[in-house]
Amino acid sequence: MDVNQKTGFIKPESVASEMPNLDIDSAAHTEPEEQVTAHAQRRKRRIFAAGGTALVGKGMMLLSNAAIVPLTVRYLGAEQFGLWITITSTMTMLVVLDLGIANTLTNLISVAYAKEDRELAGHYFATAFWMVSGLALALALAGFLAGGRIEWGGLFHVSGAGVGPALTRSLAVAFGIFLLGLPMGLAQRIFAGYQELHAANVISGVGAVLSLGLVAAGVSMKETLPWLVAGFAAGPVLANLGSLAWICLHHKPWMMPWPSRVRRMHLGAIFHSGSRFFLIQLAGVIVFNSDNLVISHYLDPAHVTPYSVTWRLASYGSSLQALLSPALWPAYAEAYARSDMKWIRTTYLRMQRGTVALLMVVAVGLFLGGKWVIHLWAGQAAVPSTLLLGLMCVWMILYGITINQACLMGATNRVSVQAVSSVLAAVANLGLSIELVRRMGLPGVILGSILSYLIFVVFVQSLQVRAILHSPKRECAG
């Protein structure tokens, strides 16, 4: 990617040259003014429809997760709850093992939707589905061969009779369910590509409720840690399995992933774009999900409790932004395929300004009342220090700003430089978190994330967003 050496800004023409990998430019075509306006209005309707259902779906998820925390804290105790959180967050880290194929599929289906080509969408999905299924099988074999050779008790800094075997079983169960869920999760990408996130939001809410029900059943039956981990992990997988069956058998039968629909020509394009998303996802996993492992290893699992509960409360504030953000990615991708840059610019700037205003209000409320809420919600063992709470508020605002930038870049496939900067941020984050947790305790972990993100991510994303918004693609009314 070419960068202007005098200004430091990425040249728009060099950024635009990345797009043919996904055939997005080939989808652009001249349309009458009334059609452009109609497309813009349809995008707005679907974004707000997604926002409305997200309020329901995310509300179900938030309430379910909020109920799970005090339930499991009181049942498991601080140490085992710390293990439970660490295991489940570790499984979240492994989502990168799809090699970025899921994110690529969102863009591909958005392009096929812009072209109104059902057959192409079906080929894209079938190819991606079997690629991810093959990866899951390979990972299962690797896990089987390597899992028994790792001393998990030492890695998680736990000891005591029965704790080691229970931890090993919990990890095995969680990993197995995660692998089953990899191809099932692509159902969400179909909804995203067709700008039908209202359905995906409801399904995500159902998955969260299923997780709560299974965890509550385990607690009522006095089950052990592996059962609770399995119940929590299985809820979303079951919901995605049901949604995929509904899509392929009824809603969009042309998406049925028959092996005969796999196209060799799409393998390279999916892998090429996916590899860049993979680097970004891998870096994001380290930035967002390594904290609990660092705390558990360098302090002890009990310290994970106040950190993770505070993080979760801060993420609830950030989730207000997420009511619209997931719907913006496919909308941006489809608008870019139609060269509607005016709509993209207007929508992005409104979203960014609204995000800053909203999260500043939420952050002030969280800082003033967060300790009281956490004490009431999860007990004294989960109450953070004032410094940790304040840094979480700073992180919440910073993350909200950059997620809008990343959404626009991902939708337009501007990810090459972002991938490099994200890897650098991840390395710096891990090093800073380890050093600062030794010096400062818990607050050092989130401070490491803030510093690495400011240095390596915020500046680079700002340059790329500027390049996108000043892209030389054709102006459209919107």
- For 394-449, what is each residue's pLDDT tens digit? 988 888 888 888 888 877 877 777 778 878 888 888 889 899 988 888 889 889 88
254 versus 403: the higher-pLDDT residue is 254
Confidence (pLDDT) at 477: 35
Confidence (pLDDT) at 386: 92
223 versus 405: the higher-pLDDT residue is 405
222 versus 126: the higher-pLDDT residue is 126
> Mean pLDDT over all residues of the chain?
77
- The token duo for 402 is 């950059």
Confidence (pLDDT) at 149: 63
Q: Span 336-341, mean pLDDT?
A: 81
Among 43-57, 100-114, 220-234, name the one with the lowest average pLDDT: 43-57
55 versus 235: the higher-pLDDT residue is 235
* Reported confidence tier of residue 67, pLDDT bands at 50, 70, 90: confident
CA–CA gap between residue 66 and residue 76 (Å, rounded): 16
* Reported confidence tier of residue 150, pLDDT bands at 50, 70, 90: low
Q: What percent of the chain lies above the pLDDT cut of 90?
A: 6
Q: Span 273-301, mean pLDDT?
A: 72
* Reported confidence tier of residue 8, pLDDT bands at 50, 70, 90: very low
Is the pLDDT at 152 greater than 90, yes or no? no
- The token duo for 74 is 């009181």
Confidence (pLDDT) at 148: 62
Cα separation values, 84 from 60, 215, 430, 453, 478, Å: 21, 12, 22, 27, 48
CA–CA gap between residue 288 and residue 425 (Å, rounded): 11
CA–CA gap between residue 13 and residue 356 (Å, rounded): 30
**pLDDT tens-digit map of 259-281:** 888 888 887 777 766 667 767 76
Are 221 and 213 in contact, with CB atoms under 8 Å apart? no
Are 333 and 411 in contact, with CB atoms under 8 Å apart? yes
Confidence (pLDDT) at 304: 82
Q: Span 57-70, mean pLDDT?
A: 73
Q: Span 294-308, mean pLDDT?
A: 81
Confidence (pLDDT) at 156: 60
| Residue 433, C-beta contacts closer than 8 angstroms, at least 6 positions apart | 290, 291, 294, 444, 445, 448, 449
Is the pLDDT at 376 greater than 80, yes or no? yes
* Reported confidence tier of residue 478, pLDDT bands at 50, 70, 90: very low
* Reported confidence tier of residue 387, pLDDT bands at 50, 70, 90: very high
Confidence (pLDDT) at 4: 36
Among 29-38, 138-147, 232-241, 292-301, name the one with the lowest average pLDDT: 29-38
Q: What is the largest CA-CA distance in the chain?
A: 72
Is the pLDDT at 337 greater than 90, yes or no? no
Q: What is the sign, positive or negative, of the torsion defined by CA atoms of 217, 201, 84, 313?
A: negative
CA–CA gap between residue 411 and residue 464 (Å, rounded): 12
* Reported confidence tier of residue 30, pLDDT bands at 50, 70, 90: low
- The token duo for 291 is 């904290």
Among 3-17, 172-186, 295-309, 403-417, name the one with the lowest average pLDDT: 3-17
Q: Span 109-113, mean pLDDT?
A: 84
CA–CA gap between residue 169 and residue 176 (Å, rounded): 11
Are 260 and 125 in contact, with CB atoms under 8 Å apart? no
Is the pLDDT at 390 greater than 90, yes or no? yes
Cα separation values, 72 from 84, 223, 228, 229, Å: 9, 11, 9, 11
CA–CA gap between residue 393 and residue 388 (Å, rounded): 9
Confidence (pLDDT) at 447: 92
The one-letter amino acid code at 66 reads A
